[in-house]
Chain A
Amino acid sequence: MAALCPSCHKPAGPRPGNKSAPFCSPRCRQVDLGRWLGEEYRVPDRPLDAEPEQPRPASAPAQDEDGR
């Protein structure tokens, strides 16, 4: 299963054969860079005024910490 280029979603070969990996081409890497600099990449965040998460009792399992 070939990895897909993060920019164009076409198959992109691995290194060292493909120097642009994980992209398929230098162009697609450049497009991605443009998106970073164009502030197009965002991750979810909680609202500014949301309650901070409550400290959790010491015995509680650490896994379920989404707090939303």
Chain B
Amino acid sequence: MNGISKPAAEASTTSGPAEYGTAQITVLEGLEAVRKRPSMYIGDTNVYGLHHLVYEVVDNSVDEALAGFCTTLAVTIHVDGSVSVKDNGRGIPVGPHPTVHGMDTVDVVMTKLHAGGKFENSAYKVSGGLHGVGVSCVNALSEWLRLEIQRNGKVYEQRYARGIPQQQVAEVGVTDGRGTTVWFKPDPTIFETTDISFDTLSQRLRELAFLNAGLSITITDERTSKSHSFQFDGGIVSFVEYLNKSKETLHPPIFFKAVKDDVALEIAMQWNDGYDERIYTFANNINTHEGGSHLVGFKSALTRSINAYAERGGVWKDLKEAPTGEDAREGLAAVISVKLANPQFEGQTKTKLGNSELKGLVEQMVNESLGNFLEENPGAARKIMAKIGDATRGRIAARKARETVRRKGALDGLSLPGKLADCQSKDPSESELYIVEGDSAGGSAKQGRDRRNQAILPLKGKILNVEKARFEKMLTSGEIVALITALGTGVGREDYDPTAARYHRIILMTDADVDGSHIRTLLLTFFYRQMPELIAKGYLYIAQPPLYKVTRGKKELFLKDQRSLDEYLLRIAMERAVVETSAGELKGPALRALLERVAQYQDRLAKLSRRRDPRVLDALVQAARIDETTLLDMDALARQVEAMHAWMGERTPDVLGHLKTFRKDDPEHQAKKLVFRTEMNGSPRETVVDHAFLTSPEYAELVALREVFAQGGPPPYRVRFEESEASAKSVQEILAAVRADASRGLAIQRFKGLGEMNPEQLWDTTMNPETRTLLQVRVEDAVESDDIFALLMGEAVEPRREFIEKNALDVQNLDI
């Protein structure tokens, strides 16, 4: 403990007993004051004050380290609750004090308030020395205190009880080492608690080790055998790394130091990708919890430097308002350490730095150094700027979201949106909300619904002309708020409660066209991102309005898709068609079975038609009898090609007109392959019939279907209807003929918009729980929706256009 010494006082250790007595009186006067009002000196007599005693002693050792004389410091909590602090500093000077007559310097230091080097600034240029109360306070408030000093090759000892020396300073031995050990036991008659906390001390000692690069500090708790060692050669840079140790950091720590007007400033700072702001400030090693002028200076300079840099570099052009200091400090870990000659500590706990001159000084230093850092490290700067930009956007977004939602009353649950036609039931488990795009459809839905448990919320997308021929649709914030309000869940970080949903069936009902599917993608994405719990609970559905309306006489029928339409037509056909084949008559279910196979056959051909000519394939399958072995036999191959030509000549002469048939080598299979060149819709097409195709499952399936058709004998066929008859040269022509007949007297209308249905029709087809089909949205659907959405939102125009054109965001995309 030598933070307390006047190095000038160097003398031998002789003090007469008589003089000692007189000195004791002065001692008592000073220390009695401390014992009478301990809180005035150490804050309180509870946990805070108790630990303060240790800090007081430790800080004296650290001051010795600051002065460059101490490198290690060991703190031990002993089993009896006493604490010892041992350093390897110069040791408290021993010998008669030069000005206090009759007292040893050791006793002066230990018993006189405000004694010691730090009050005169000469021995210690800067010093933390706790607010000037001195180690004598510790002594006064200790049941006992034992001092051991190693100095000048000798070991000295002194003992005190409640501050009163128990003997003269005694030389007890010799040593190679040097340093001071202060071992004291807090006085239980003063303190309400005497339980020293290992963790509390550890935290402070770790800080001190950070603040004093290279200083080795150990703490041992003999009560529990816990122990820590702290030594950080990187100083406050290590401190910042420690603060960020479990975080994803954006750049290596920034460090700068400066000395000006007797003030030494060190700052280390590093942003992480988190949201906490952690700035630790110190003045002369004291943790200035309450901040003060250095922190104020730092904050204002930080905001200014960041904004100045951003302005020069033109970043954040998209931001609607400039980042605030809080934005700039989001995810920032920083340590500011100032050392100055005359710290003024203010505030409730005396942990606020008051020196007003520091604000400008720190500001100036940070402006220069941080500005330079950003200019010289564009990579780190870019990441920091991006992070702050995000913080700003996040703050603006959060505020906007909160304001919008609150202003429009989405949270009070009382004022439902005006356009919501709510249901009578208040029981969410039986209530349904139809979200309907388009006003006219909304009107039909309102009239057609069962108002007992079906609510209607019409939403209208707003159309924007973004380029000459490019239009976009969006939901206005008003629409979104109306949606949130109707749902009753609230939204956002603080206000969202999925259990408050007012409906347990939320049904998206949009037009069955591309635009309708876009709006649905938009809505699905909103739910997926902002209310994923509703999807997870299975609350979200997609309505299935019909695609076709079929009118037969006065009867109207709605069919939900192409497949239902085909089935319907076949059903009619089988009621009234008879097919005569060479194998006998086909009608009723048998006819229907055949025609279903024909439809399947056509479907497969259509799928293969992307790269081949389906008419050529049809001839290949129906007229020829080819498998992969035929490719080895030239004569057989020629015969089969001839059969194909004949087939086409009869049925598709126009194809035959342009057909060019080639036989080419296929060395890989030591065989030939056939290439048919045709024209389809004016563009040339090559149908390759090779080993690979003839062994493919697609070909096998087509052949299998042909075998089924063959059971009806070879064409031609006769198709008899009630009032007419027709001839068919192939099974496909049978299907076409019966379809044509079935469609006779039918009006088939393709629905696009929901608005094309009147309220009753909408009820019957789409909303009546007895007859409707609903698709429940699963999380995977929503993920896919988000992917599509991302594509729709994409910056890259070309892939986006291509995607839209190719996939047409087909209704089926999402309905599977």
Contacts and interface: CB of A to CB of B under 8 A. Distances in A.
A38 to B, nearest CB: 6
A46 B493 CA distance: 35
B558 to A, nearest CB: 14
A45 B515 contact: yes
A49 to B, nearest CB: 10
Contacts of B525: 41
B398 A45 contact: no
Contact of A29 (B481, B530, B536): B530
Chain A interface extent, by class: 35 or more
A22 B529 contact: yes
A58 B808 contact: no
Contact of A36 (B464, B530, B752): B530
B471 A44 contact: yes
A25 B522 CA distance: 22
Interface string A51-62: 011011111011
A53 B811 CA distance: 15
Given A62-B547, A63-B812, A66-B804, A45 B461 contact: yes
A48 B461 CA distance: 12
Contacts of A35: 397
A25 to B, nearest CB: 8
B252 interface: no
A21 B786 CA distance: 13
A57 B473 CA distance: 29
A43 interface: yes
B654 interface: no
Contact of A31 (B393, B521, B565): B393
A21 B812 CA distance: 26
A42 B786 contact: no
A20 B476 CA distance: 24
Given A33-B401, A37-B404, A48-B463, A61 B606 contact: yes
Given A6-B786, A22-B532, A43 B522 contact: yes
Interface string B792-815: 110000000000110010111000
Given A27-B394, A33-B491, A47-B469, A53 B513 contact: yes
Contacts of A43: 472-474, 518-519, 521-522, 789, 792
Contacts of B473: 42-45
Contacts of B628: none
B545 to A, nearest CB: 14
B733 interface: no
A32 to B, nearest CB: 5
Given A23-B529, A33-B491, A37-B481, A62 B471 contact: no
Contact of A44 (B472, B749, B752, B790): B472
B354 to A, nearest CB: 36
Contacts of B405: 37
Contacts of A33: 397-398, 401, 491-492, 530
A62 B461 CA distance: 25
B470 interface: yes
A26 B493 CA distance: 7
Contacts of B662: none
B397 A30 contact: yes
Given A39-B476, A42-B472, A55-B750, A64 B808 contact: yes
Contacts of B119: none
Interface residues of B, number: 72
Interface string B386-425: 0000100110111011001100000000000000000000
B275 interface: yes
Given A27-B275, A44-B471, A65 B513 contact: yes
B546 to A, nearest CB: 12
Contacts of A28: 394
A38 B474 contact: no
Contacts of A22: 528-529, 532, 783, 786
Contacts of B547: 62
B809 to A, nearest CB: 8
Please indicate which of the listed interface residues A25, A41, A57 has the most CB atoms of chain B within 10 Å of its own CB.
Answer: A41
A38 B521 CA distance: 18
A30 B464 CA distance: 25
B562 interface: yes
B480 A36 contact: yes
Nearest to B811: A65
Contacts of A68: 514, 805
A58 B548 contact: yes
A6 B401 contact: no
B493 A34 contact: no
Nearest to B808: A66
Contact of A47 (B394, B471, B514, B529): B471
Contacts of A52: 752
A44 B786 contact: no
Contacts of A10: 273
A14 to B, nearest CB: 10
A48 B743 CA distance: 33
Nearest to A33: B401
Nearest to A68: B805
Contacts of B373: none
Contacts of B743: 58
A8 to B, nearest CB: 7
A35 B480 CA distance: 11
A67 interface: yes
A21 B394 contact: no
B233 to A, nearest CB: 33
Nearest to A3: B783
B397 A34 contact: yes
A43 to B, nearest CB: 4
Contacts of A58: 548, 565, 569, 739, 743, 748
A64 to B, nearest CB: 7
Contacts of B810: 63, 65
B537 to A, nearest CB: 13
Interface string B778-796: 0000010010011011000
A66 B805 contact: yes
A65 B397 contact: no
A45 B518 contact: yes
Nearest to A64: B808
A38 B492 contact: no
A10 B783 CA distance: 16
B471 A48 contact: yes
B721 interface: no
Contacts of A57: 748
B561 interface: yes
B539 interface: no
B526 interface: yes
A62 B517 CA distance: 15
Nearest to A4: B790
A46 B469 CA distance: 9
B477 interface: yes
A64 B415 CA distance: 44
A48 to B, nearest CB: 6
A30 B513 contact: no
Given A27-B275, A37-B480, A65-B514, A45 B471 contact: yes
Contact of A39 (B390, B477, B805): B477
A44 B393 contact: no
Nearest to B469: A47
A34 B401 contact: yes
Going nearest first, the 3 A-B pairs with the smallest beta carbon separation are A34-B397, A66-B808, A45-B473
Given A29-B530, A46-B471, A63-B812, 5 more contacts: A35-B397, A47-B465, A53-B752, A56-B750, A68-B805
25 contacts: A22-B528, A23-B529, A28-B394, A30-B492, A34-B401, A35-B397, A41-B522, A42-B464, A43-B519, A43-B521, A43-B792, A44-B470, A45-B463, A45-B471, A45-B515, A48-B471, A61-B606, A62-B562, A63-B810, A65-B514, A65-B811, A66-B804, A66-B805, A67-B514, A68-B514
